[in-house]
Amino acid sequence: MQLNSDLNQRVLILPEQYQFVSSPLQGVSRMMLDRAGAEVARATSIVRYAPGSGYSRHTHDGGEEILVLDGVFSDEHGDYPAGTYLRNPPGSSHQPFSRDGCTLLVKLWQFAADDNQQLVINTGKSQWQPGLVPGLSVLPLHEHNGVSTALVRWAPDTLFNRHIHVGGEEILVLEGLFCDEHGRYAAKSWLRNPRYSTHTPFTLEQGALIYVKVGHIGAGLLGNQFIEAVATT
């Protein structure tokens, strides 16, 4: 399957465009945001677990990044409430489930080959830092070889400088209304801006909270090697 897999293209998916499809496991459904591959794929998805559902035990050959959007996500290692950020590196394994249901942002096969850091961050108990302009607060989540992931809170009526994303940018709006000169993006909107794209983001009276990842588009990630291997078989 190839879905929004051309990383040179800008992609915008609004919440009213969400269409969840069933996964191979009963009670688990996915809204596919981008995907290159079949059931094993370089993929970004919104994943919903119905109460009492889960996956069988499995290994993540290409690594897994998770942000818990609502509910409580669990595995044999612990329980992860909304706002938890997890990184399970290549070769890690677990048996995930949710007792009462949950929704996740999940990214697969998007690790660097030398990134073996396992992370569990409860963002509700973490220390935020001042941003580059007044009105911004930043919670760094992960950084490796120029690929950075963070939560960014925008106060109402905040304007950021016009800037360029040499390594691209990906945003999931978690709360409020995020804006730039190209449009206005409500909560649950997902954007992927290609390498060398520019914009001038801002907020209105609602403010916003976003998940943002930069530097990863075109980077040397395991997922790119995986796609090249698939293409030659």
Question: Quick check: is 54 in a domain?
Answer: yes
Whole-number pLDDT of residue 233 = 35
Question: Quick check: is 2 in a domain?
Answer: no
CATH code, domain carrying 207: 2.60.120.10
Domain count, the chain: 2
Whole-number pLDDT of residue 152 = 98
Question: Quick check: is 224 in a domain?
Answer: no
Average pLDDT over residues 18-32: 94
Whole-number pLDDT of residue 39 = 73
Q: What is the pLDDT of residues 125-163, one digit of tens each?
A: 999 999 999 999 999 999 999 999 999 999 999 999 999
Whether residue 225 is predicted with pLDDT greater than 70 in this model: the reply is no
**What is the domain extent for residue 114?**
18-122
Whether residues 90 and 152 fall in one domain:
no
Whether residues 86 and 136 fall in one domain:
no
Question: Quick check: is 227 in a domain?
Answer: no
For residues 70 and 54, what is the distance between their CA atoms, to the nearest angstrom?
16
Task: Provide the CB-side half-sphere exposure for 228 (13 A, CA).
Answer: 6
Q: How sure is the predictor about 187, in pLDDT bands with cuts at 50, 70 and 90?
A: very high
Whether residue 223 is predicted with pLDDT greater than 90 in this model: the reply is no
Are 177 and 184 spatial neighbours (Cβ–Cβ below 8 Å)? yes
Whether residues 68 and 109 fall in one domain:
yes
Question: Quick check: is 225 in a domain?
Answer: no
